Amino acid sequence: MPVALVGGTGIYNLPGIEVEEKLITNQYGTALVYLGKGEYEDVVFLTRHGADHTTPPHKVNYRANIKALKDLGVARIMSTYAVGAITRDYPVMDLAVLRDFLDFTSGREFTFFDEITRGVGHVEMSAPFCPIMSAKILELAPKHDIKCHDGATYVATNGPRFESPAEIKMYQMLGGHVVGMTCCPEVVLAGELGINFAAVALPINLAAGLEDKITIVEDNIEKVRANMVALMLDVLKNTSDDQCQAPILL
């Protein structure tokens, strides 16, 4: 079945890969996807903030996007997030493999189970991120010249503002490692539709309070992003639908 790569900030296309642009409309809205051609015909690419980064985190139509991928038959998603590091254990410009999340978003459409027609459903979140694909990220990262750190808990904030130092201190105390604005509800919605989901975060700054002011690191970023995309495609190619088990509904 097809697989999908969802790109976050800075990842707006698949360099060197021919794609066909397609708008998919469903009951939640319209999603813009790019269908790979030739060798990549089973790859769907979606860039979360739009090709020209015009959609802010709280306005992304997460449901339209995930439903569009589901309707294309996508069984596995690899997703990327630009984040702030809230601990120096996840250095800026190294990748963090996500294993868990803390959801502080609000006011977003965060579930498919809010309509009478779908009934009541509770997706199980003991392992929100696919362990098989996550292990493959760690295994293949050195081949793509990427330093990768396992075990990150992603703190999802509503944005679009950044956090205060006191908030970051609180997130540290709660066990968060990186902070961003988009992983929730994306990972949850994929789980609700039975799609395997794994993700990497790229810290591009130290979070509020770790330094005097937030500085977004730009050095080498294009190379890191290109390596990241190559790694994600490699992970999707070297894992299979059969190996991966999506979260179950209770």
Residues in touch with ligand HPA (CB under 6 A): 82-84, 157, 162-163, 179-181, 204-205, 207
- Cβ 165 to ligand HPA shortest distance, Å: 11
Q: At what angle do helices 131-140 and 221-237 cross, to 10 degrees?
A: 130
Structure tokens, 124: 């199980």
Q: Give the helix/strand (H/E) hosting 124.
A: none
Q: Give the helix/strand (H/E) hosting 139.
A: helix 131-140
- Cβ 203 to ligand HPA shortest distance, Å: 7
C-beta closer to ligand HPA: residue 56 or 73: 56
In whole angstroms, give the CA distance from residue 79 to residue 186.
Answer: 9
- Cβ 196 to ligand HPA shortest distance, Å: 25
**Cis peptide upstream of residue 15 (ω within 30 degrees of 0):** no
Q: Give the helix/strand (H/E) hosting 3.
A: strand 3-7
Inter-residue contact 238 to 147 (CB < 8 Å)? no
- Cβ 166 to ligand HPA shortest distance, Å: 14
C-beta closer to ligand HPA: residue 180 or 191: 180
C-beta closer to ligand HPA: residue 76 or 108: 108
Inter-residue contact 159 to 66 (CB < 8 Å)? no
Q: Which residue is nearest to ligand HPA (CB)?
A: 84
C-beta closer to ligand HPA: residue 136 or 177: 177
C-beta closer to ligand HPA: residue 204 or 228: 204
- Cβ 231 to ligand HPA shortest distance, Å: 20
